[in-house]
């Protein structure tokens, strides 16, 4: 089967490492990853507006870059929260 570029134009990266950036907000540093619509398969509640992020909606997922406490959570990834892209951009 011939491989043609379709919508996957970004270079392949190891699973879980793709496309994460960091952002600094008033409550600390966060790792942020965008979730494309075709990867959004569940409904989440956005902490910014308390409204639903419905499946198929491109959005962002953010979690603390470094726990400030001493390993309070088993993994920072357990703190992941899903945000509407606009709500995350407006967060301070």
Angle in degrees, CA 35, 36, 42, rounded to 5: 70
Could you give the CA distance from residue 89 to residue 28 in angstroms, rounded to a whole number?
15
Contact in structure between 40 and 53 (CB atoms under 8 Å): yes
Least Å from the CB of residue 52 to Zn ion: 9
Nearer to Zn ion, 17 or 81 (CB): 81
Token pair, residue 92, equals 């301070």
Of 10-18, 28-36, 61-69, 76-84, the window that binds Zn ion (rule: CB under 5 A) is 76-84
Which residue is at the shortest CB distance from Zn ion?
A: 46
Q: Using CB under 5 A, which residues numbered 29 to 58 contact Zn ion?
A: 46, 48-49
Binders of Zn ion: how many residues, by CB under 5 A? 5
């Amino acid at each position: 089967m011939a491989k043609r570029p379709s919508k996957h134009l970004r270079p392949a990266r190891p699973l879980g490492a793709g496309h994460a950036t960091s952002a600094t907000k008033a409550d600390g540093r966060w790792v942020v990853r965008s979730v494309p619509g075709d990867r959004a398969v569940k409904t989440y509640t956005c902490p910014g507006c308390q409204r639903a992020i419905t499946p198929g909606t491109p959005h962002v997922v953010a979690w603390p870059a470094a726990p400030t406490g001493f390993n309070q959570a088993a993994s920072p990834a357990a703190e992941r929260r899903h945000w509407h892209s606009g709500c995350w951009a407006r967060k301070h």
